[in-house]
């Protein structure tokens, strides 16, 4: 039975969604294609008619994760102008730390992208650039500029590196030193919301 173009696109999307979650949970090397196909409700063979390689799937999974992250950032700016407090409270929360499969692609896939390079590295670079641009053009006072100044860009980089670095470190010591993990998140939130 021939599958319609719409169904084929939906099947492909299901594979990308499963890969996006699983890769963020366990890393690129920690998940096989058979598991992704099974998670999406297909057999292993269903992968090969839809993607040229695992690398292509990983890049698309990264792109999809960034669409979600950028959508959340955009919604934050629409509701609260340049005030990131609500977003940062969720970002530095225990739920985000403890559920990487539903979280920020930068905190869970950046190291993989650096190791893998190729299409995944390109997707990660484009996603980081887009996130930084959004942070840079939306100033804390609520104004939006067409072109960020060097100061806007520096502020965006400081914000994003604090966000990503804090969650990566909090996850790294979450089981071995949960108190330290919580302290990293709490201190980073305070730093970005109060400047303390």
Could you read off the pLDDT of 103-160 as tens digits, one per residue? Answer: 999 999 999 999 999 999 999 999 999 999 999 999 999 999 999 999 999 999 999 9
Per-residue model confidence as pLDDT tens digits over 23-41: 999 999 999 988 998 998 8
Which class would CATH give 55-194?
Answer: mainly alpha
Task: Report pTM.
Answer: 0.91
Cα dist. 1→4, 15, 40, 42, 106 in Å?
A: 10, 20, 20, 16, 40
For residue 50, what pLDDT is reported?
77
Structure tokens of 146? 């067409």
Instruction: Report the length, in residues, of the chain.
Output: 196
Q: Evaluate if residue 72 carries a pLDDT over 70.
A: yes
Kindly list the domain boundaries of the chain, sorted by start residue.
55-194
Instruction: Answer for the pair 39, 14: CB distance below 8 angstroms, yes or no.
Output: no
- DSSP readout, 9-78? HHHHHHHHHHHHHHHHHH-STT--HHHHHHHHT--GGGGTTT-S-HHHHHHHHHHHHHHHHHHHHHHHHH
Q: Evaluate if residue 196 carries a pLDDT over 60.
A: no
Tell me the angle at which helices 33-40 and 54-80 cross, rounded to the nearest 10 degrees: 50
Name, of 8-22, 42-56, 170-184, the range with top average pLDDT.
Answer: 170-184
For residue 80, what pLDDT is reported?
94
Average predicted confidence (pLDDT) for the chain = 93
How far is it, in rounded angstroms, from Cα 177 to Cα 164? Answer: 19
């Amino acid at each position: 039975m021939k599958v319609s173009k719409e169904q084929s696109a939906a099947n492909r999307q299901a594979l990308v969604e499963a890969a996006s979650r699983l890769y963020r949970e366990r890393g690129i090397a920690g998940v096989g294609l058979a598991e992704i196909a099974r998670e999406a409700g297909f057999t292993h063979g269903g992968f090969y008619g839809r993607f040229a390689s695992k690398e292509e799937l990983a890049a698309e999974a990264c792109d999809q994760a960034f669409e979600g992250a950028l959508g959340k950032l955009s919604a934050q700016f629409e509701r609260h102008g340049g005030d990131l407090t609500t977003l940062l409270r969720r970002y530095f929360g225990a739920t985000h730390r403890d559920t990487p499969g539903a979280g920020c692609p930068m905190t869970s896939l950046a190291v993989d992208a650096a190791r893998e390079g190729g299409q995944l590295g390109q997707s990660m670079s484009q996603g980081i650039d887009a996130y930084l641009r959004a942070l840079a053009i939306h100033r804390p006072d609520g104004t939006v500029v067409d072109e960020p100044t060097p100061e806007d860009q520096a502020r965006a980089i400081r914000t994003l590196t604090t966000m990503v670095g804090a969650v990566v470190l909090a996850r790294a010591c979450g089981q071995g030193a949960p108190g330290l993990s919580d302290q990293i998140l709490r201190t980073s939130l305070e730093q970005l919301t109060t400047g303390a």
